[in-house]
Amino acid sequence: MKLHLLRYFSVLAEELHFGRAAERLAITQPPLSSGIKALEDELGVRLFERNSKHVELTPAGRAYLAEVRLVLDRVAQAGETARAVAGGQQGRLDVGFTGSMVYRDMPRIVQAFHAQAPGMEVNLREMSSSEQIEALLHRQLHVGFINTSAVPARLRSVPLADDHFMCCLPDAHPLAQAASIDLRTLADETFVMFSREVAPANHDNVIALLHRAGIHPQTRHAARQWLTVVALVASGMGVGLVPASMARAGITGARFVPLRGLTHPTVGVLAWHAEQTSPALQAFIAIASTGAAPR
């Protein structure tokens, strides 16, 4: 059944006059008449009682009109949905993130995207950096907030707003109230480290920072998330070097003290597959690229 015949029927049912209906449809009366006849022949029922002076819906026509209006409404809605998806205003975006990104740029970017495209469904999935990279390579994620500075060749990335390392100490540590710490004073401490298997960049960044201070750390614990590092430190399991943003987690028992004379950024990027080019993804990336925005 041709959709234009349903439109002919709907307009004629509203006007009950061939001349006015043809004018609304921007056609002449003969194609309207032949279209209605073709529709009735296809259905095998009369939809209108008509003569030279009068047009009226039959009972079958009235019942058919209710269904046709539903069909035309859904067709119109389908068109609007297609245009919204094409314009990045509707659909679904699967977004990966590591736990620490909750305290960095991720909330700002997601909220800004939601304000710009309220019809888009954003599905957040907490995953390790290595899990996200795998998922992005297999297109199981659209985009991911990852603790790394370099991504595989098939992925693209933009850096997130700067964060930097601080020393995380238990409240009871003698240096917990210090204004700043010379990292070398912690040479004999036990360090809580980030597991290299989960996020090599996080682990290697901390090791590089310690080596710059001439420290070959004693390590006893390997955590999978920055939050776990902070929680272990707060429990008296050692000291750690963590992103400054982790202070926002508000974990009781942990103190964050600046490193004296050392500034070392923590890595973090927003990554996506090079062949993913949807308008919604591009809008999300554009928001993330404004990394200098207040946090």
User: What's the pLDDT at 181?
Assistant: 93
Confidence of residue 86 (pLDDT cuts 50, 70, 90): low
pTM comes to 0.63
**Residue 189 CB-density burial (10 A; 0-12 exposed, 13-18 middle, 19+ buried):** middle
- Spatial separation of the C-alpha atoms in residues 222 and 224, rounded to whole Å: 7
Q: Of all residues in the chain, what percent carry a pLDDT higher than 90?
A: 47
User: What's the pLDDT at 176?
Assistant: 94
Residue 91 vs residue 167, higher pLDDT = 167
Tens of pLDDT, residues 14-24: 889 899 999 98
pLDDT at 257 exceeding the cut of 70: yes
